[in-house]
Structure 1
């Protein structure tokens, strides 16, 4: 990560750090609870930051490594099991990060002291992870541009049980590099040669919005083809709110992790229309709260309701099964589905009974334990 990036912590950077540190806490809780049921296996978990930076911004606000370490220290169980590894190719960043970490209150309570590396991330590190079975690890990969970020790296770090990843996708830099033969090798490492050629053709003469959609969707498809079953992007707009600067991309092999991160990104989104999140941070939404006429008239929950009525007509299905199969790659979270089902119950378009008690939901409620029966197609 460039030193310039750390000279001031923008609101976007604070939100990025918050998303990563919040997910670490959720992930660590889930993984450590699972490990306790299998004491014959290793009880270690790990946090790895491959582009860690200097630890603090010039305004002294904390970057992600410090937030994660503070969360670990605050939980005695995690302090006894979490291994942390921080890498940066800039030795000055490594030394600055070490000093910042040494100043954290309670840092000596960790069973495993943080370890530091000064390596350039590339094929060698990807091959190292590829050839090693690792403990459950949450990876944060936050390069300044795109050098070092590759499908090989990502697939190598999420291959083992319990391993999830968030990485920084510098859309501006990648967008400029798509048609640049001088950096074709880097672009191909992100998308694959064949998919890159398709992207180049599809992006020709497209609007900026359509071009972004093609590039981000192609990246998500490439990641799924390389071992990540669940891919969730979160977009950041520039300070003026006029164009995309970058995305955070979350990767997991398990729906539970995907769903937990979706809830975190939902809360960090700068705009919610009819209870449905934008899954982006746009400073314009924060400082200019009045929406457009389109925003005021938009009814995305009505769209979800129509989809469910058509797709599940005549079926009986549990809420959890429906939610897991229908919500992936859509902007709706668990509570959005429950609001729709409460409305459908009120309108008499579905019936629902609790799987455990056999009773219908109480008025104004809808639990995860419901079995739902849809009426036939209208």
Structure 2
């Protein structure tokens, strides 16, 4: 049996790997989209990746850190290598030394037009002011503080305020949950949620059970970011070993629906469980080992019922339904196609192209983005 400390290390290592996969996969997709925009419109002469709490070049088990994954992707793509500006920062000198060594050992690193900028400093209010006043080129930024120092809603807004800019940050739910009602860290909570919102939260959370607190705190965080202009906020939760409580969350912030949809698909694939094909948007060692215990809520049935109510008497394409309905909900495109297929089989909706004339895929009739769906009016 593993010692308690070793179990904790393994859990943290698993979380770090999932986190690195999500961030690096989104960077790959985001940079490909930006290169496509450049090819079509020719208005992009630089792209940037910024990691302000970058950690080491490699972890103790030898696995690659996110900065190394990002640089490797750029080295493999000559066009991206000619455009990408990278900035890595960490206040820990040992981490920076490790990163410099790992970057120096990368094959082809000299093909990058802009050498990686690697700094050792603490992220503070001055950094927030600098990014707030700077017009950023299209930038994907990753903010992964150990706790909450240096993290504020205005800082995240500064990282996404310009065109083509997206941000993902690590939200230490365990520490922030405890900090909401802790007067010693009141200014940090005010900076993260906004003073008025944080004050309201302090009154409410005392009466909530742990599950209610988690939902409430994540909702208020999303509200604080949306108040500053971030249209789409998407959380991915990391649960403790028992699978019952959230320890951290990875929060994605963007103003663009396309980025939201791409990240949603990436997070869906990294989820440890799904229920009726609907992803949990969470990683949990317990859920990964016993998925049946965590898959009993039948969310696809709820989706079908909600679609019938939301679009009663209307005719829309599958893509219009998906783009209008999925924001701030756990569903991805394939869930909508599955729900619409079932509703059609049950005679509750009518598609402009009969199921018998549509091709099969994975044992199910396909439902293309352009398929028109007619919903019946609600009975009075």
- Name the TM-score class by shorter chain: over 0.9
> Counterparts of 2:199 and 2:88 in 1: how far apart (Å)?
35
Name 1:42's counterpart in structure 2.
44
Name 1:12's counterpart in structure 2.
15
Deviation at residue 324 of structure 1 after TM alignment: 1.1
What's the TM-score once normalised by structure 2's chain length? 0.92
Any unmatched runs of 5+ in structure 2? 1-8
Rate the CA distance shift 1:290–1:335 in 2: closer, same or farther, 3 A.
closer
> Counterparts of 2:199 and 2:241 in 1: how far apart (Å)?
32
Q: Secondary structure at the match of 1:121?
A: coil
Contact 1:352 1:361 in 2 (8 A): no
Name 2:27's counterpart in structure 1.
24
Deviation at residue 36 of structure 1 after TM alignment: 1.9
Name 2:157's counterpart in structure 1.
155
Deviations 1:278-319 (A, max 9, x none): 110010012234426xx34x3211110010011111101122
Name 1:54's counterpart in structure 2.
56
Name 2:341's counterpart in structure 1.
342
Name 2:304's counterpart in structure 1.
305
Deviation at residue 344 of structure 1 after TM alignment: 1.8
**Deviates most, 231-240 or 142-151:** 231-240
Deviations 1:135-161 (A, max 9, x none): 100000000000000111111110000
Name 1:187's counterpart in structure 2.
189
Deviation at residue 360 of structure 1 after TM alignment: 6.7
Deviation at residue 177 of structure 1 after TM alignment: 0.8
Alignment of 1:1-378 (within 5 A): 10-39=13-42, 41-291=43-293, 295-296=295-296, 298-353=297-352, 361-362=358-359, 364-378=365-379
What's the TM-score once normalised by structure 1's chain length? 0.93
Q: Secondary structure at the match of 1:46?
A: strand
> Counterparts of 1:255 and 1:103 in 2: how far apart (Å)?
38
Deviation at residue 361 of structure 1 after TM alignment: 4.0
Contact 1:166 1:248 in 2 (8 A): yes
Deviations 1:29-81 (A, max 9, x none): 11111022222x33211100000111111111111111111111122221121
Contact 1:353 1:361 in 2 (8 A): no
> Counterparts of 1:241 and 1:318 in 2: how far apart (Å)?
38
Q: Secondary structure at the match of 2:251?
A: strand
**Deviates most, 100-109 or 181-190:** 100-109
Deviations 1:10-30 (A, max 9, x none): 111100000000000010111
Q: Secondary structure at the match of 1:366?
A: coil
> Counterparts of 2:78 and 2:178 in 1: how far apart (Å)?
46
> Counterparts of 1:173 and 1:376 in 2: how far apart (Å)?
48
Contact 1:32 1:43 in 2 (8 A): no
Contact 1:361 1:367 in 2 (8 A): no
Q: Secondary structure at the match of 1:21?
A: helix
Name 1:3's counterpart in structure 2.
none
> Counterparts of 1:77 and 1:241 in 2: how far apart (Å)?
43
Name 2:6's counterpart in structure 1.
none
Name 2:4's counterpart in structure 1.
none
**Deviates most, 159-168 or 106-115:** 106-115
> Counterparts of 2:341 and 2:45 in 1: how far apart (Å)?
42
> Counterparts of 1:100 and 1:211 in 2: how far apart (Å)?
41
Contact 2:318 2:367 in 1 (8 A): no
> Counterparts of 2:289 and 2:139 in 1: how far apart (Å)?
37
Deviation at residue 106 of structure 1 after TM alignment: 1.7
Deviations 1:228-284 (A, max 9, x none): 100000000123323211000000001110011000111100011110111100100
